[in-house]
């Protein structure tokens, strides 16, 4: 033990890099050297909030063996860092990680890493920057997003119709939601030849997703991540077939843009196919948990359910004719006139958000004229650090309050569910429309009760790339149709004014 203690002391002397007094204050762990690593392992992303809690500084440094992290917890510093797009970069990290996660060719790696450092050249010389730029317009409110939304609501409507036919019934809520949302989303993006319509490919995606961490670590993946590699290869094959058939020509502007941008930059069809499952992480991993937690918090609280139902009823038109009542839920009307629902969505996102914006410091940089960020350090903005700070949300910060967003919060930059700055989530309009459409249709048509009560929403396993906590995957619920009076009832969606959007980020004015 004595020898070990000596080793620790010697190591900590060796590892404590000379610190510049202008760097953000360092928070040292109780156990030298490995304390932060134990904390991160044990508390995952919530570790940073516990550190912030004891210090209350706007930015702090934590030193790990071989690396240094700057954790930002104040909105003004977030605004400041988001302006430093050259010296502090997300793209360089994305470039390094994406090759490993996709398993692409060396030629593709070269294209990805070329000119990604913006201190060396303009955005237009870099594939990564050009790609992130190119996929924003197809996801912005407008005709191509409309086309995606139409397919998506048609499918959500189909899912709820199929469920209604089976009622009363018992389903596994998470599994049902994940399948239906995955189908609606991928049909909207990939069109009639959507590879994920084949349930085996969908299963392969979730297997692949489980193995991302092992791909990133990259130690003997053929042994440590064998199943993940098989799933990844299966998906790449499916997408090679898809692009070979030119199926993207019948799909969304987003799918077309991703393919044509890749081709323009010189990627082979095989490499573009290998990147598709990675793109699907953003597309699929967070919408379903958001919808799950919406249903969870609405149905587990009668008052929330009543408030939300009332709003939906006022946004629903009923046409009586021929013994049939046709209920039309206008998605645009929900955006325009359902403030409690919108607030509930934001509160769910605030409450269940576990995302981190991560950036690499490419050169010594003075932040806000006072904090020195050293080259090679990593800047981290963990959303929950902002989302759990009473300074921004008040003394009831730990409570779920579905009306919280009806009144203005102190600073919209403190809401980080969709990130911000140049990595602001471009999918937020599509994702929020999908969650709202599903949730509104569901609570208007069904009663739901969990078998054996609501499980407490404990957090077990948070993946480092997740933005929203993964739900319980085994929640059995009893579903029955609501009593809406005699006669036949038909439900459909309307989409009138597509320019309307939910304000979900400081950037959405
Ligand atoms: C409720 C669902 C979603 C949530 C909570 C969410 C959240 C986020 C967050 C927090 C970021 C920023 C990460 C960072 O700062 O590093 C992000 C980035 C991104 N999201 Fe989403 N997202 C969702 C759905 C979607 C969907 C449906 C799509 C695609 C249609 C999408 C596409 C993207 C892309 C491409 C980026 C990277 C942007 C860039 O770095 O330039 N997201 N998302
Ligand atoms: C989903 O939408 C596509 C395209 O509009 C349609 O062909 C398909 O039948 C829909 N599926 C369901 C289950 O509604
Ligand atoms: C009324 O219902 C009958 C029988 O289902 C059908 O033939 C007829 O077309 C319907 N009329 C209208 C206006 O929907």
Q: Is the pLDDT of residue 54 over 90?
A: no
Establish whether the linkage from the previous residue to 268 is cis, with ω within 30° of 0. no
The tokens describing 258, both together, are: 């991703």
Among 37-51, 161-175, 193-207, 229-243, which is the least confidently predicted range? 37-51
Ligand nearest to C-alpha 180 = 2
| Adjacent-strand bridge partners of 365 | 373
d(CA 164, CA 168) in angstroms, rounded, equals 8
The pLDDT score that the predictor gives to residue 459 is 65
Q: Counting every residue, how long is the chain?
A: 509
- Nearest residue to 27 via CA among 45, 6, 50: 50
The pLDDT score that the predictor gives to residue 374 is 96
Among 43-57, 191-205, 364-378, which is the least confidently predicted range? 43-57
Mean pLDDT estimate for the chain = 91
Alpha helices in 245-299 (DSSP H): 253-264, 269-284, 287-299
Centre of ligand 3 to C-alpha 322, Å, is: 6
Confidence class for position 272, pLDDT limits 50, 70, 90: very high
Provide the 10 A C-beta neighbour count for residue 348: 26
Mean pLDDT of 273-286: 92
The pLDDT score that the predictor gives to residue 1 is 44
Ligand 3 contact, 456 CB (< 6 A): no
**Distance spanning both ends of the chain, measured CA to CA:** 60
Taking only the tens place, the pLDDT of each residue in 74-122 is 999 999 999 999 999 999 999 988 888 888 999 999 999 999 998 888 9
d(CA 148, CA 326) in angstroms, rounded, equals 24
The pLDDT score that the predictor gives to residue 335 is 85
Taking only the tens place, the pLDDT of each residue in 180-194 is 999 999 999 999 999
The pLDDT score that the predictor gives to residue 450 is 97
Centre of ligand 3 to C-alpha 490, Å, is: 14
Among 110-114, 202-206, 334-338, 359-363, which is the least confidently predicted range? 334-338
Confidence class for position 333, pLDDT limits 50, 70, 90: confident
H helix and E strand count, the chain = 22, 13
The pLDDT score that the predictor gives to residue 474 is 86
pTM of the entire predicted model: 0.92
Q: Is the pLDDT of residue 42 over 50?
A: yes
Mean pLDDT of 254-279: 96
CA-nearest residue for atom 5, ligand 2, is: 151
Share of the chain above pLDDT 90, in %: 71
The tokens describing 75, both together, are: 């909105």
- Nearest residue to 428 via CA among 354, 502, 359, 496: 502
The pLDDT score that the predictor gives to residue 34 is 87
Mean pLDDT of 386-404: 94
Q: Is the pLDDT of residue 15 over 60?
A: no
Q: Is the pLDDT of residue 2 over 60?
A: no
Mean pLDDT of 234-250: 97
**Half-sphere exposure at residue 188, Cβ-oriented, CA atoms within 13 angstroms:** 29
- Say which DSSP state 417 is in: T
Taking only the tens place, the pLDDT of each residue in 483-506 is 998 889 999 998 876 666 767 677
Q: SS3 for 367?
A: strand
Q: Is the pLDDT of residue 463 over 80?
A: no
Q: Is the pLDDT of residue 420 over 60?
A: yes
Share of the chain above pLDDT 70, in %: 94
Alpha helices in 354-401 (DSSP H): 383-387, 390-393
- The residue with greater pLDDT, 434 or 457, is 434
Mean pLDDT of 217-226: 84
- Nearest residue to 210 via CA among 190, 232, 180: 232
Look at strands 67-72 and 59-64 and give their pairing: antiparallel
For 309, residues 6+ apart whose C-beta sits below 8 A from its C-beta are: 443, 444
Centre of ligand 2 to C-alpha 281, Å, is: 22
d(CA 200, CA 508) in angstroms, rounded, equals 38
CA-nearest residue for atom 19, ligand 1, is: 425
Ligand 2 contact, 151 CB (< 6 A): yes
Residue written as tokens 């997703």? 209
**Half-sphere exposure at residue 150, Cβ-oriented, CA atoms within 13 angstroms:** 12
The pLDDT score that the predictor gives to residue 11 is 55
Provide the 10 A C-beta neighbour count for residue 503: 15
Confidence class for position 41, pLDDT limits 50, 70, 90: confident
CB 256 within 8 A of CB 248: yes
Domain boundaries, the chain: 2-130+360-368+371-380, 135-355+416-508
- Nearest atom (ligand 2) to Cα of 162: 13
For 382, residues 6+ apart whose C-beta sits below 8 A from its C-beta are: 45, 48, 49, 71, 354, 355, 356
Ligand 3 contact, 460 CB (< 6 A): no
d(CA 431, CA 437) in angstroms, rounded, equals 10
Among 223-237, 241-255, 407-421, which is the least confidently predicted range? 407-421
- Nearest atom (ligand 2) to Cα of 150: 5
Among 117-131, 228-242, 463-477, which is the least confidently predicted range? 463-477
For 218, residues 6+ apart whose C-beta sits below 8 A from its C-beta are: 100
Q: Is the pLDDT of residue 508 over 90?
A: no
Centre of ligand 2 to C-alpha 492, Å, is: 14
Residue written as tokens 């949730």? 439
Which helix (H) or strand (E) covers residue 55, if one does? Answer: helix 47-55
d(CA 299, CA 151) in angstroms, rounded, equals 27
Residue 308 annotated as lining a ligand binding site: no
- Say which DSSP state 119 is in: T
The pLDDT score that the predictor gives to residue 321 is 87
The pLDDT score that the predictor gives to residue 14 is 52
CATH 3.40.50.300 given to domain 135-355+416-508: no
The pLDDT score that the predictor gives to residue 475 is 93
d(CA 449, CA 6) in angstroms, rounded, equals 58
- Nearest atom (ligand 1) to Cα of 358: 16
d(CA 299, CA 286) in angstroms, rounded, equals 20
Q: Is the pLDDT of residue 168 over 80?
A: yes
């Amino acid at each position: 033990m004595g020898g070990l203690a000596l080793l620790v002391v010697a190591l900590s002397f060796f590892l404590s890099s000379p610190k510049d007094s202008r760097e953000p204050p360092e928070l040292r762990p109780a156990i030298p050297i490995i304390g932060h690593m134990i904390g991160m392992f044990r508390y995952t992303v919530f570790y940073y909030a516990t550190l912030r809690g004891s210090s209350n500084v706007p930015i702090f440094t934590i030193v790990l063996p071989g690396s240094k992290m700057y954790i930002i917890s104040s909105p003004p510093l977030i605004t400041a860092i988001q302006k430093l797009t050259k010296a502090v970069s997300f793209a360089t990290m994305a470039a390094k990680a994406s090759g490993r996660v996709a398993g692409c060719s060396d030629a593709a790696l070269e294209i990805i890493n070329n000119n990604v450092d913006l201190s060396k050249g303009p955005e237009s010389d870099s594939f990564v920057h050009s790609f992130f730029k190119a996929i924003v317009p197809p996801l912005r409110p407008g005709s191509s997003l409309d086309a995606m939304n139409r397919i998506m609501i048609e499918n959500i409507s189909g899912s709820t119709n199929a469920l209604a036919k089976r009622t009363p019934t018992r389903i596994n809520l998470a599994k049902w939601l994940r399948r239906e949302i995955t189908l609606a989303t991928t049909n909207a993006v990939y069109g009639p030849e959507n590879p994920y319509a084949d349930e085996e490919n969908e299963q392969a995606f979730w297997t692949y997703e489980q193995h991302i961490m092992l791909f990133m670590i990259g130690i003997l993946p053929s042994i440590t991540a064998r199943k993940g590699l098989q799933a990844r290869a299966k998906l790449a094959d499916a997408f090679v077939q898809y692009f070979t058939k030119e199926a993207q020509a019948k799909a969304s502007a987003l799918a077309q843009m991703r393919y044509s941008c890749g081709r323009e930059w010189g990627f082979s069809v095989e490499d573009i196919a290998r990147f598709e499952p990675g793109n699907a992480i953003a597309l699929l991993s967070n919408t379903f948990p958001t919808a799950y937690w919406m249903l969870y918090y609405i149905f587990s609280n009668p008052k929330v359910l009543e408030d939300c139902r009332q709003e939906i009823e006022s946004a629903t038109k009923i046409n009586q004719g021929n013994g049939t009542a046709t209920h039309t839920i206008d998605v645009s009307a929900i955006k325009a006139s359902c403030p409690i629902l919108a607030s509930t969505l934001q509160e769910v996102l605030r409450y269940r958000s576990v995302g981190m914006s991560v950036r690499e410091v490419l050169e010594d940089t003075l932040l806000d004229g006072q904090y020195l960020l050293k080259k090679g350090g990593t800047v981290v903005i963990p959303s929950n650090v902002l989302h759990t700070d009473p300074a921004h949300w008040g003394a009831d910060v730990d409570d779920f309050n579905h009306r919280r967003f009806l009144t203005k919060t102190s600073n919209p930059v403190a809401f980080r569910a969709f990130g911000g700055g140049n990595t602001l989530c471009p999918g937020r309009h599509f994702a929020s429309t999908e969650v709202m459409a599903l949730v509104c249709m569901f609570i208007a048509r069904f009663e739901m009760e969990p078998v054996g009560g609501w499980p407490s929403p404990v957090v077990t396993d948070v993946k480092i790339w997740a933005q929203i906590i993964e739900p319980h995957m085994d929640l059995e619920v009893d579903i029955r149709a609501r009593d809406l009076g005699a006669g036949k009832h038909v439900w459909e969606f309307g989409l009138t004014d597509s320019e309307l959007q939910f304000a979900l980020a400081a950037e959405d004015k």
